[in-house]
Structure 1
Amino acid sequence: MSVVQSPKHLAAPPLTIASVPSGHVYVRHLAPLAGHGAVRLPDPDPNRPDRPAGATWWPPVMLDPEWARTAEFDVFHLHFGFDACPPERLDRLTRVLRGRGKPFVFTVHDLRNPHHDDRRLHDEQLDVLVRAADALVTLTPGAAREIEARWDRTAMVVPHPHVVDLPTMSRALAVRPGSRLRPFRVGLHLKSLRANMDPMRILPTLVETVAGLDDTVLQVNCHRDILDADGARRDAELAAWLRREAAAGRLELAVHDYFSDDDLWSYLASLDLSVLPYTFGTHSGWLEACRDLQTTVLAPSCGYYADQGPILDYTNNGDDFDADSLRDAVVHARTERPHLGATVEERTEQQHLVAQAHEDLYREVSG
């Protein structure tokens, strides 16, 4: 099902939603820009559940069946944050909600957890949550088809809203034309090497391809924990390879701590092409942030990234990798410089539709 604008419920009092987590940028951008509509409870502080969490919401207190047993809300809406929850605990949570007559909405962001090598735990969690939900939401038609095939459930498709705030988007749009005056910059960010990343599968092809293009730079970023000698997730082979290639001038290497949001937006806006090195996954907020900042995305063929919006793609799915498809996509991005980003007007209209779709859904499940 696609987003359809429905009549607004102007006369009804606002519903109170227990969104997990409510402070995440995705959830914040489900709200109407005008500020009306459903009221989302703040995330409780894990150390003091009686007060709001602020920036610290992990682990989500709302996933505690005892919290759900006593808290006041109209609809419980789970997005993510249940990675470490045993399926049995999630089952108890859904039974508490059902016993109280509280509707349970579940947005299926990840059909495969990008942080888990072994998919079995996530599959077991999904089995509980998808079957128990009174209503399902997902972000792409492809994900909805997989949900129907696996569980015989229909999910409403509501696209991912913007990630970057609209004023920052507007500034990025204004300065993007100036990027043609500098070298074309290809970015690969390895973060802290999530389970679904295999950088050495694609790096040799990226280095070779960029070296053959005029006025083009390959920038590789990663967190200190994978390259520092005492890093908790150090990959010695990757570290040695990256430092050797950087010393030879074949790539620029940036090693740093986690970016703040502002630093991340500045980094993404500095790129012309962001390459995603995933071998499995479902959807990507990184992709959406790139589109907000007019940075072209080159995404793998796994998951449903291509369903999210206009991007370039290459073959990289499980054990299936095609170096030629990666090379061709990078060359295309460099020579054609496609305009695949979202405009402020598009994101503004999209947020209106996304907010209305959620408001209508909450009213429907609330009876």
Structure 2
Amino acid sequence: MASVPASHVYVRHLSAVDPDVEEPVRRLPDPDPADPRQSAEQRWWPPVMLDPDWIRAGDFDVFHLQFGFDAWSPEDLTAVVAALRETGRPLVYTVHDLRNPHHRDRALHDRQLDVLVPAADAVVTLTPGAAAEIGRRWGRTAEVLPHPHVVPLGVMETVRRTRQESRDEFRVGLHVKSLRESMAPLRILPSLLSSVRSIPGGVLQVNGHRDVLEAGGARYDAALASYLAEEAPGGGIDVRVHDFMSDDELWRYLSTLDASVLPYRFGTHSGWAEACRDLGTTVIAPTCGYYAEQGPALSYVHEEDLFDAASLVEAVHQARLTPHLGRADVAERRAQRTQLAAAHARLYRSLL
């Protein structure tokens, strides 16, 4: 089967991990964008499988679209659907994003969804709320299959066994990365920092990439950088500026936090939230999208044009009282892999 993309961690974790469970689905490796005859392994963008000519020539039974079409026009996606129809291959579409977190304006993504959701032979999504929205907008019934773990199971086991707890410090993380369009850190930072400072031993750790927090960076945000510099002498804030983290660096970082605040003002689902749950870090999720439906989380009111500071303050204090809220169990995550593999295999067979 052609899964777009095959090497993304979400897709890789749709296969059973139990060696006694036979894997009925064989996913083709991602073709290298520089040479479609080669496997790309981790390099999959732009996805060659979205080329109608590749579809016509490809040897596969089912086409499952997950990610990677951000830059594709609705006309391009219509051509993809047409190529699948010509060759008699069913289209499965997992709706991860009902609002693209990288697009300030939602119009393009809405038009892309208007092509894909009605055309799909089967629609999947991750939460009941997203499924309900799909039903309202397109009259389609989406099968709800939860997000699998993100952190490797072995790392989860090690962190569970070795994670050091501190009674003297309560560390809350705000990770601004390279400032996606969906992020609004300056909107929430004053209330967030004030609430953390009010907790004995409270520390707010703010991580950001150099391109955002260092002058001359491609996405330099002078207002955000200035705010952090002005607040640093007041204590209670730990600013870390760095390049992109490797996976291992990211797991180590997340496992040092008691709670992680998602600073999103729009969006739908989050792999970051799943990684936090894998490592026992409490998630403080906004009310926009369906982040809080993915698993146990604390919630605060944050929408595109709305932010309630009191709800964030309450969530931070609640996080102090409920450590490791929603921490994923390794055995349950392992079993979930088996269940997800079986559910996808059943879905594919039903279309053939």
Partner of 1:92: 79
Is the partner of 1:112 in helix, strand or coil? coil
Q: Which of the numbers 7, 22, 27 marks the counterpart of 1:40?
A: 27
Task: Give the AA of the match of 2:176.
Answer: L
Task: Give the AA of the match of 2:69.
Answer: F
Partner of 1:300: 286
Task: Give the AA of the match of 1:125.
Answer: Q
Structure-to-structure mapping, 1:1-367, within 5 angstroms? 17-33=1-17, 34=19, 36-176=23-163, 178-337=164-323, 339-366=325-352
TM-score (norm 2): 0.97
> Mind listing any 5+ residue stretches in structure 1 that lack a counterpart?
1-16
Task: Give the AA of the match of 1:359.
Answer: A
Note the C-alpha offset of 1:66.
0.9
Task: Give the AA of the match of 1:340.
Answer: G
Q: Is the 8 A contact 2:33 2:48 kept in 1?
A: yes
Task: Give the AA of the match of 1:109.
Answer: H
Q: Quick one: distance in 2 between partners of 1:330 and 1:110?
A: 27
Is the partner of 1:179 in helix, strand or coil? coil
Is the partner of 2:231 in helix, strand or coil? helix
Q: Is the 8 A contact 2:280 2:324 kept in 1?
A: no
Q: Quick one: distance in 2 between partners of 1:277 and 1:318?
A: 11
Cα displacement string for residues 106-164 of structure 1 (whole angstroms, at most 9, x for unaligned residues): 00000000000000000000000001100000000000000000000011000000001
Regions of 4+ moved over 4 Å? none
Q: Quick one: distance in 2 between partners of 1:37 and 1:200?
A: 48
Aligned residues: CA RMSD: 1.0
Q: Aligned residues, how many?
A: 349
Note the C-alpha offset of 1:338.
5.0
Q: Quick one: distance in 2 between partners of 1:38 and 1:55?
A: 20
> Mind listing any 5+ residue stretches in structure 2 that lack a counterpart?
none
Q: Quick one: distance in 2 between partners of 1:207 and 1:353?
A: 41
Q: Quick one: distance in 1 between partners of 2:23 and 2:197?
A: 52
Q: Quick one: distance in 2 between partners of 1:99 and 1:289?
A: 40
Task: Give the AA of the match of 1:264.
Answer: L
Note the C-alpha offset of 1:307.
1.1
Q: Is the 8 A contact 1:31 1:37 kept in 2?
A: no
Note the C-alpha offset of 1:36.
1.7
Task: Give the AA of the match of 1:25.
Answer: V
Is the partner of 2:166 in helix, strand or coil? helix
Note the C-alpha offset of 1:181.
4.2
Q: Is the 8 A contact 1:198 1:278 kept in 2?
A: yes
Mean CA deviation greater in 340-349 or 118-127: 340-349
